[in-house]
Structure 1
Amino acid sequence: MKNFSVYMMLILLYILLIYLDKSFITTNSKIIDFLTKDYPSEVVQNYMESQKKWWWLNYVVTPLLIGIKALLIAFCLNFLKLLDLPKIEEIKFSDFVFLALVAEFIFIIAGFYKFVNFHWINTDYTMENLQTYYPISLLNLREYISTEKWLSYPLQLVNLFELFYWIFLAWGVRELLDEKISYIKSFGLISLTYGIGLLLWAGTVCFLILNAQY
């Protein structure tokens, strides 16, 4: 029951973020200005009409993506049961799911940070700015590091909120183990489970980007 309650809260907050983004950040005028640089007006018009037709898609897909993400992270953390850790046999898969769901609120904060940045601070932005921005990440320094497209996702992953996410997972695992291990060891366990899973996922995304380029 507690997992479902947290899950519903996440859905509502993500839906709110989508609404704020569509209404105030990624507006139709911004999209049109971006597309008209490279495409004829007929193509732009068709695209905008399809956007109006399928406006609801993001709202429907979001709950599914949140659930899949939480289950995948819990699956990674569940590998801890293969290790000889105190109290590990008492931890259920649902406990890992709950930890993953609660940790997701960190990325909700990142979403609101991005909204505040573009709505009140950096108001003179373009779609290019939106595409090359992630709150407090190396992606914002991409032009100084590398312009390779396949590096965009790894650079996005190196951000302060992702670090907070790791720290929270490490804290959560330590709590589930009744504080029988140190914070450093718990962080190491997150690296061996979630960290490896994230590395494989990032590698897959980069591979797909590279294949799409050639």
Structure 2
Amino acid sequence: MQASPWQGLFEADKRLFFVAICLLTFLVLLLKKSFIESEIAAFEIMEAQGRNQAFHLTNFIQYVTIPFFYAWKFLLIAFVLWTGCFMFGHKFSFGNTWSVVMASELVFFIPELLKIGWFTFFETDPSIWEVKAFYPFSLLQLTDWTQIDERYYYPLKTLNLFELAYWFLLAKGIQHFTPKIKNRAYLIVMGSYVVGLMLWLLFFLIVFK
């Protein structure tokens, strides 16, 4: 039987993969703060005035909470996807679901690296709002973000090409562990994760102030 081209991705050691994602996130976050935030005039002014203690504390919290953030995110999405499999009448172990979700997360490192590259080599003197509104290949980039309410930034950034690639990888992961499902894997992802994501974005718009 021919090995699946996805085998190395979805069947990697869970602990090592989790640690690798956390370390990669730490590195990307460090690069963002070093090459983007440090170049923003507002941060430079605060640095000169000695008012940046709160930002250093925030940075420290971001670094140390990386594993907890991913543990919660993977647990939540894996549960939604695992529930979706059962809703469509398919048995799928929670461990395999976790592996699929964790492996699919890799796609979100691409826009972060593109963001670092953009503000490092092209837009070298950004404002804090330009950095906040930037997300490559998202719906927000198709709008004049200066003319829309800030509440729409997050939803419009979330709807992007990399999110679509994430859905594709989730479906491929389900297909990898249960080959007989074939195209029903896409229905499972759409009927569970995607529906949940749309409800979350709607909830965000309602409660945002």
Question: TM-score under structure 2 normalisation?
Answer: 0.84
Which residue does 1:181 correspond to in 2? 181
Aligned-pair RMSD on alpha carbons? 2.4
1:63 is displaced (CA, Å) by 1.4
**Would the aligned equivalents of 1:142 and 1:155 in 2 still touch at CA under 8 Å?**
no
1:203 is aligned with what amino acid?
A: L
State the identity as a percent: 27
1:50 is aligned with what amino acid?
A: A
The aligned runs of 1:1-214 (5 Å cut-off) are 2-27=13-38, 29-32=40-43, 45=49, 47-79=51-83, 80-85=85-90, 88=91, 91-143=92-144, 147-177=148-178, 179-183=179-183, 185-209=184-208, 212=209
Question: TM-score under structure 1 normalisation?
Answer: 0.83
1:81 is aligned with what amino acid?
A: F
Worse overlay, 153-162 or 21-30: 21-30
Aligned with 2:65: secondary structure? helix
Aligned with 1:18: secondary structure? helix
Worse overlay, 153-162 or 54-63: 54-63
**Would the aligned equivalents of 1:110 and 1:161 in 2 still touch at CA under 8 Å?**
yes
Structure 2: gaps (5+ residues)? 1-11
Q: 1:208 to 1:45 in 2, by over 3 A?
A: farther
Aligned with 1:94: secondary structure? helix
1:114 is displaced (CA, Å) by 1.1
Worse overlay, 3-12 or 113-122: 113-122
1:4 is displaced (CA, Å) by 1.2
Separation in 2, partners of 1:126, 1:59: 23
Separation in 2, partners of 1:146, 1:138: 14
Q: 1:155 to 1:145 in 2, by over 3 A?
A: farther
1:113 is displaced (CA, Å) by 1.4
Q: 1:13 to 1:199 in 2, by over 3 A?
A: same
Q: 1:29 to 1:192 in 2, by over 3 A?
A: closer
Structure 1: gaps (5+ residues)? none
1:28 is displaced (CA, Å) by 6.3
Separation in 2, partners of 1:136, 1:146: 19
**Would the aligned equivalents of 1:74 and 1:93 in 2 still touch at CA under 8 Å?**
yes
Separation in 1, partners of 2:31, 2:146: 31
Which residue does 2:5 correspond to in 1? none
1:98 is displaced (CA, Å) by 0.9
1:119 is displaced (CA, Å) by 0.9
**Would the aligned equivalents of 1:142 and 1:152 in 2 still touch at CA under 8 Å?**
no
2:166 is aligned with what amino acid?
A: Y
Q: 1:132 to 1:54 in 2, by over 3 A?
A: closer
Separation in 2, partners of 1:112, 1:122: 14
Number of equivalenced pairs: 197
1:29 is displaced (CA, Å) by 4.6
